[in-house]
Copies of this chain bind each other. A is one copy, B any other.
Amino acid sequence: MHFASDNWAGAHPRIAESLAALASGFAPAYGTSDLDRKVEEKFSEIFEREVSVFFVATGTAANSLALTSVSRPGGVAFCHRESHVVEDEGGAPEYLSGGTRLHPVDGALGRIDPDGLLAKMAHFDPQFVHSGQPVAVSITQSTEIGTVYSLDAIEKIGAICREKDLPLHMDGARFANALVSLGTTPAEMTWKRGVDLLSFGGTKNGCWCAEAIVVFDPRHAREMPFIRKRAAQLFSKSRFIAAQFDAYFADDLWLDTARYSNAMAGRLARYIEDSSKMRLAWKPQANEVFALMTTSTAEMLQSKGVKFHDWKIPVGFDASAIKAGERLWRFVTSFATTKNDIEAFGRLIE
């Protein structure tokens, strides 16, 4: 019963087949092959505008280089206190951007609170060199704790960014899960709401290794080829990423895997709601489910082969809702989650 993380899964069969099919033959290197171009054009089609696309090795690279591309001296980027860039990237955003500071903003359930954002921004006076200067806002869609920004919420933050003349970056490591959760289009969830830069993740949703930086205004992407190369993120056989994305987008595989994954999370959540051994911490909106239970219950489950991890109580979560002995635990589903595993888990916690 694998709920440890969506990156414990392998690759979707159609992704694997696409890679295998591409193995033979020759093609220009460093992202200049026909397949690379075809996939780049597919991105433009999906986003309903001409976009610039840059494949990179990891989501951390996508986030870090997106922020690097907009950074300026003494730069400060606003992001949620518990976002991946802050908590899980080993300092890569600061390091790769030449020291840009990640300024933590609070907000319930993993989402930046627009008022909190404005309050943080108010501390920065453009003439006061000592504090540094705001350079970007970064949000995560879906968030680290399985919630999703509504289109209105994105628009609100986008409006703040436009007013302050700051670019808005979206960490979309789980972009597809959020997209199908909202039932909207890629364009509506991004540039139409004010997003300027996107880390588009395919790895967690069925690829081996397929991450891309999407720049919505190609004029802002001029330095990106050098930024990527300088960060050692330009693959020679780039088309092995292109091949994954090619299959990912074909026949909307990516939406199917995301829908499936979210559905599995929903089913898991219902079992938890019905359980007397644990309870939902909050309603899942994507492919991550958070539950409160005692350590002894968790250990019982783990002894039965259920893989999952404990989690830190998030900012803004009402601690008084946690009963004595309870802790918070995370369950993640993916394209590879089996219904059997869900059922077996359901039986265990009845």
User: Does A10 contact B29, Cβ atoms closer than 8 Å?
Assistant: no
- Closest Cβ of chain B to A290, distance in Å, is 18
User: Does B130 contact A90, Cβ atoms closer than 8 Å?
Assistant: yes
User: Does B24 contact A229, Cβ atoms closer than 8 Å?
Assistant: no
User: Does A91 contact B96, Cβ atoms closer than 8 Å?
Assistant: no
Q: Which residues of B contact A60 (CB under 8 A)?
A: 229, 232, 234
Answer whether residue A98 sits at the interface, using C-beta atoms and an 8 A cutoff: yes
Q: Which residues of B contact A30 (CB under 8 A)?
A: 7, 129-130
Given contacts A19-B16, A61-B232, contact A88 B240 (CB under 8 A): no
User: Does B10 contact A90, Cβ atoms closer than 8 Å?
Assistant: no
- Closest Cβ of chain B to A116, distance in Å, is 16
CA distance A221 to B159 in the complex (A): 29
Given contacts A19-B208, A232-B57, contact A90 B237 (CB under 8 A): no
CA distance A233 to B232 in the complex (A): 9
Q: Which residues of B contact A10 (CB under 8 A)?
A: 22-27, 237, 239-240
User: Does B92 contact A231, Cβ atoms closer than 8 Å?
Assistant: yes
Answer whether residue A9 sits at the interface, using C-beta atoms and an 8 A cutoff: yes
Stretch of A68-76, A253-261, A275-283, A315-323 at the chain-chain interface: A68-76
User: A7-B236, A57-B233, A232-B233 given. 12 additional CB < 8 A pairs?
Assistant: A7-B237, A10-B26, A16-B19, A19-B19, A24-B336, A57-B57, A60-B229, A75-B91, A90-B229, A94-B100, A96-B99, A209-B240
Closest 9 CB pairs of A and B: A95-B99, A90-B229, A57-B57, A61-B232, A94-B99, A7-B236, A16-B23, A73-B226, A208-B240
